[in-house]
Structure 1
Amino acid sequence: MLVVPLVVGVALGGPVWAHVPLALLWFVGYFAFYAVGQWLRARFKKRWWPPVRAYSIAVVPCGVAVLLTAPELVVWVPAFVPLVVVSLWCSYQRRDRSLLNDGVTVLAASLMLLVAVDVAGPVDGRAWVVFALVLGYFLGTVLYVKTMIRERGSLGYRRASVAYHLVLALAGTGLVAWSGHGSVLLVGALLVALCVRTVVMPGRPATPLQVGLGEIAASVALTVVLLLPV
């Protein structure tokens, strides 16, 4: 979820040198965010303070480098701040596995696609279409993974996952067809395959590692499909 939006955004916008400090800020910033979240969840226990301090210090030069190479990106800060605040609040409340936290985290990660495009040029119609598909995909993984691990026996989650992916398949394919950005056949086939997966896989024995490897494969397939020339 960290890698795909950044890689797709860089590919869509075209790679430039300013993407290097942006990538550093993105990953170091995530490490700082994760450390702070764990610190809050642990109610400020001392053992979590060293990584909070280390990554918070490391993120400063990365942020300065981005401001120097791409100062126009400051306009994206208001979009990220409330999402980070909500997620950290969920960590403090020990609700970091909630749908609310998962949703805001997915949205923040997906927004990086638009930021990466913006570094190299204007955010055009294709970027917004691809952003919508990436966001839709990762929101779907929240439900699907829960049906495979934490909510394995929940019929409600399984129904919600199937319904969501069915809507995603129809809406995503329709969006590509309407916009003309992307291959309707390939996008449609991938989204249908993801929908079928939500019906077939839940209830089958699978370890978290196997589920994770499956998500990596699906993410790679999504990246390839979205970046193939029309």
Structure 2
Amino acid sequence: MALMPPLAGTVIGGVSWRNLLLLLAWVLCYCTEFTTARWLTSRMSKRFLPPVAAYAAVTAVFGLALLVTTPGLLRWVPLYMVLAALTFLAAWRRVERSWWNNLVSIIAACTLCLIAYSLGSGPQSQATHSPGGYFGCPPNPAVNCFSEGLFPAQAFPPVGLVATLIFAYTEFGSVLYVKSLVRERKHLWCTVASVVWNLMLTIGAALVLPEVGFWPLFAALILVIRAAALPAIARERRIPIKQVGMVESIASLVVFLVTIGTAGPITAALQGVGLFS
């Protein structure tokens, strides 16, 4: 859930040293967040402090290297500071599996898809004509620096934005599905919401079928079938958490592969009806 969106953005946008460094920094950031959350949950027990300090130090080194070589990423720092604060608040209050903290995690991971795409070899090669005097600014000063304002259009490339929205939608569907089997298994509304949410995705995939082919519809059908079938099975017998996770891992992998293969055609189809310029 945390790694697939930025990894997909890297693949779709084209591998570059910038998005590879971003991926490394993100993995380290995740490790820092995880250990810090454990530390806060334990009410700052000294036993959990050494890994927090170690991961934070390594993350700072690679994070600063990324910002020095691509200072335009500073535009995203306020967002991630807020998301980090909310995550740590959830850890302190011991509500890490709450709905709102799930949303925080989705926003953090999926936004990385857009950022990783914008740093890819494809978008980076589409350099603007704005001058970039700082050594980290070329080849695309609009994205790598601030030559065209705080949030230029180049920081929101359509294909990257579409891939980000796909991941955000499907990952929230994943939250609904898992909760319908675990924490909210006694509440029918969660199962209904999960099925309806994924059914809407299936309808959307069917609408773009002529332009993008069968694979998005195939992925959507897998998601809606698992959202309906497993809760029905769980009403007869309890499904182990491990099996729930395995099914969701397979579904997430399908979404990952289909998004990589069809984000471009889906964007073109949406542009054809005027949804993206």
Q: Are 2:189 and 1:156 equivalent residues in the alignment? A: yes
Q: Does the CA contact (< 8 Å) of 1:173 and 1:184 recur in 2?
A: no
The superposition leaves residues 22-48 of structure 1 with CA deviations (integer Å, 9 ceiling, x where unpaired) of 111101101111111121122112111
Match in the other structure for 1:194: 223
Return the alpha-carbon distance in structure 2 between the equivalents of residues 186 and 169 of structure 1. Answer: 11
Q: Which AA in structure 2 matches 1:20?
A: L
Query: What's 2:98 paired with?
Result: 98
- 5+ residue gaps in structure 2? 124-153, 266-277
What amino acid is aligned across from residue 217 of structure 2 in structure 1? G
Which residue of 2 is the match for residue 168 of structure 1?
A: 201
Q: Which among 144, 160, 164 is matched to residue 131 of structure 1?
A: 164
- The 3-state SS of whatever aligns with 2:185 is coil
Find the aligned partners of 2:114 and 2:61 in 1 and give their Cα distance.
22
Unpaired runs of at least 5, structure 1: none
TM-fit CA distance, 1:170: 2.9
Change (3 A) 1:172 1:32: farther
CA distance, structure 1, for counterparts of residue 205 and residue 62 of structure 2: 35
State TM-score, norm by structure 2: 0.75
Alpha carbons of structure 1 residues 194 and 15: separation in structure 2 relative to 1, 3 Å? same
Corresponding residue SS for 1:228: helix
The 8 Å contact of residues 133 and 172 in structure 1, kept in 2 or not, is answered as: no
Q: In structure 2, what is the equivalent of residue 26 of structure 1?
A: 26
CA distance in 2 between counterparts of 1:228 and 1:143 reads 25
* SS of residue in 2 equivalent to 1:18: helix
Number of positions where the alignment pairs a residue of Structure 1 with one of Structure 2: 226
CA contact (8 A) 2:7 2:23 kept: no
Q: Give the C-alpha shift of residue 177 in structure 1.
A: 6.6
1:178-207 CA deviation, whole Å, 9 max, x = no partner?
A: 9x6xx2532123113211211111115422
Stretch deviating more after TM superposition (84-93 or 201-210): 201-210
**Alignment correspondent of 1:82:** 82
Larger Rg: 2
1:144 maps to what in 2? 177
Q: In the aligned structure 2, how far is the partner of 1:134 from the partner of 1:23?
A: 17
> Could you tell me which amino acid in structure 2 is paired with residue 158 of structure 1?
T
Distance 1:71 1:172 in 2: 37
SS of residue matched to 1:201: helix
Q: CA deviation at 1:96?
A: 0.8
Displacement after TM superposition at 1:160 (Å): 2.0
1:6 to partner: Cα distance: 1.5
* CA offset digits 1:50-83 (Å, max 9, x no partner): 1111111111111122113322211111222212
Secondary structure in 1 aligned to 2:103?
helix
- C-alpha displacement of 1:171: 4.3
* Structure 1 residue aligned with 2:255: 222
Rounded Cα–Cα distance in structure 1 between residues aligned with 2:209 and 2:51: 47
2:178 counterpart letter in structure 1 = V
* Normalised TM-score (structure 1): 0.90
Q: Check 1:172–1:127 CA distance in 2 against 1; reply closer, same or farther (3 A cut).
A: farther
Q: Percentage identity across aligned positions?
A: 30
Greater helix content: 1
Q: Is this contact kept in 1: 2:202–2:221, CA < 8 A? A: yes
Correspondences of 1:39-118 after superposition (within 5 Å): 39-118=39-118
CA distance in 2: counterparts of 1:213 and 1:167, whole angstroms: 24
| Letter of the structure 2 residue corresponding to residue 67 of structure 1 | L
State the superposition RMSD in angstroms: 2.0
Cα pair distance change 1:29/1:187, threshold 3 Å? same
